Structure formats: C-alpha cells, structure tokens
Amino acid sequence: MTKRKGQTGIALITAIFVVALAAIAAVSMITSANVALHRTSNLQGSEQAEWYALSIESWVCSILQRNSATLQRGYTSLGDPWARPITGFPIDHGVAAATLTDLQGRFNINNFGALNPAPYMEQFQRLVASIPALSGSNVTDLGPAIRDWIDFDSDPWAGVGAEDIYYMSLQTPYRTSNRLMKSPSELLAVRGMTPQVYEALYPYITTLPTTSARININTAPLPVLESLSGASGGGGGFSQFIVERASNPATSVQDAIARNVLPKDPNLTSFVGVSSNYFQLQAAVDVDGVRMQLYSNIIWSSGGATVVSHSFNTD
C-alpha cells in the first residue's frame, strides 16, 4: 500500500508540473501575440500617419501652385492663402494640423558664406541685441566662427573665428563642415554657441541654400525687422507695421520707405525684400494614438512648388 501511495503522489506532482508548464507556455504565447498585435497596430498607425502627412504636403504644394499669381504681383504677405493655418482637421481615426512658415522672414545663417560677410555679421549682432532673452549676451565672436564653419579655407576670420585647428583640439575632436548649413541645429557644433543661445535664436533664423537671401519685411518678426538697420522705423515704427501688414502689406521696398516703415538707407537694398520663395511646412497628424510630425522645406517659384527636403518625427 505504501508503494502505491508513493507512486500516486509522484504522478500527481508530475501532472501538476505538466499543467503548470502548459499554463506558462499558454501565457507566453498570449503575451507574444498581444505584443505582436500592438506592434502591428503601431506600424499600421505610423504608416497611415505618414501617408496623411505626405498628403497634407501635396495639398499645401497645390495651394501654392494655385496661387502662383501672388509671385507675379511682386510681394508676399501674411494675408495670402498660404498663411492660414489648418487646425483640428478631421481625418479617419484622428485629426491633423498644419502651418506654413515663410523662411525669408528669418535671418539666413548661410549669408555668412557671402563674399563679404561683414554686413551680415553686423546684422546678426543687431538681431541678438533685439531678442529680449539674449539681452546682455556676449556673442561677438560667434559670427566669425559661423563664417569659418561654412567657408572653404583654413584661416580664422579676422583672427577670431574657429577652424579645424580649434575643433580638432577638443576632447571629442571633429572638423568644420566647409559647406552651407543644411539645418539651424548645426549651429550647436560651432564654437561659442550654447543651447540657451540657440533656443532663443531658433525662431528667428534659418538655413537657406543661398548666401544672398533678402528678408521679407511683410512676414518677419519684430527682432528680425530691427536687425535690418538698428532703426525702429519711422512714424508708428515696426510695431505698428506688424499690426497692419496682413491687410496692408508693403508692395515694394520703396513703398515701405514712403510709408516711413524703413529709413532711407541705400545699404538696406541688399538685406530687404517684400517677396518670398522659401517656406517650411510643419504638419502634425494623430491617428489611433500615433502622433507624427512632418517638416518639409519648399521652394515656391513661377514653375510651381517643389519639396527640397522633409523629415519625420514620431511620438
């Protein structure tokens, strides 16, 4: 009898062990299936969000194409159709939003690559002085350092710039780019730039693929306008012009001077304009809990609107 009871106990334990293993295997399979299901759902949501974002990009380009007459009239303003933001636009299983920013309303960092960058360095200093968050900041040598980052030679600009000899001596060495910047974020690699200065500058700067971009006074924010000559404008000044320019934009530089918005400064002609060709689309799409952001750089000309680059950011 004792032997049978022992055998029965062993069999029971074995049965319990087998059931436990089966339960563990079942839970593991269910967990794996759930993970795979969620992964598939996220991938599907990301793909849908990407297609929606690209559709918005195509839509915006078509809006610019349809409004090509705006370019022919000679000026671009915040009263034009492109400047109207899209907010809370319903889509299947989500919502979308988009804004188009005139990049020629910002200071072009790549202007430091011009044959004579000195005027742009002076303008940059005035821009820094016009930004409240940078009040008292000493960035005198930042302009020459940016010039050296862009130019092709190895000689520090005016003896105060920064070439390879400086960057290669750092704890983590690297070389200068020796080309026009593709993104404003490249400034973080330049000597003298700090995250705090960059954060304050970012809303007012851009990196256009040219070294002679003019600032569109019809779209530029106040600090950028004040960087043009250090003057505050005549009459009501730039502040008054900003209030009324959406409905009453400057149709030419001469018009802005006649309206006492700009001073009669012949040197301004190389800095100022009233039309734009470079824009950035910022689109945000939420689909089934997946949020995707699209940043597209667009060139708008008489031949249409062309996307030159875009990038995605998924949350």
Q: Which CATH number is 59's domain given?
A: 3.30.1300.30
Average pLDDT score over residue span 31-39 = 61
What average pLDDT does the chain have? 86
**Token couple for 78:** 């915040």
pTM passes above 0.75: yes
In a domain, 293, yes or no: yes
In a domain, 28, yes or no: yes
In a domain, 135, yes or no: no
**Cβ neighbours around 234 below 10 Å, total:** 14
> 215 near 105, Cβ under 8 Å?
yes
Please tell me which residue, 139 or 300, carries the higher pLDDT value.
300
Q: How many domains does the chain contain in total?
A: 1
* pLDDT value at residue 232: 44
The C-alpha atoms of residue 134 and residue 198 are separated, in whole angstroms, by 10
Containing structural domain, residue 276: 1-111+204-315
Q: How confident is residue 265, by pLDDT bands cut at 50, 70 and 90?
A: confident
In a domain, 104, yes or no: yes
The two beta strands, 205-206 and 215-216, are unpaired
The two beta strands, 86-91 and 107-108, are unpaired
In a domain, 155, yes or no: no
In a domain, 172, yes or no: no
In a domain, 88, yes or no: yes
Q: How confident is residue 159, by pLDDT bands cut at 50, 70 and 90?
A: confident
The C-alpha atoms of residue 30 and residue 19 are separated, in whole angstroms, by 16
In a domain, 173, yes or no: no
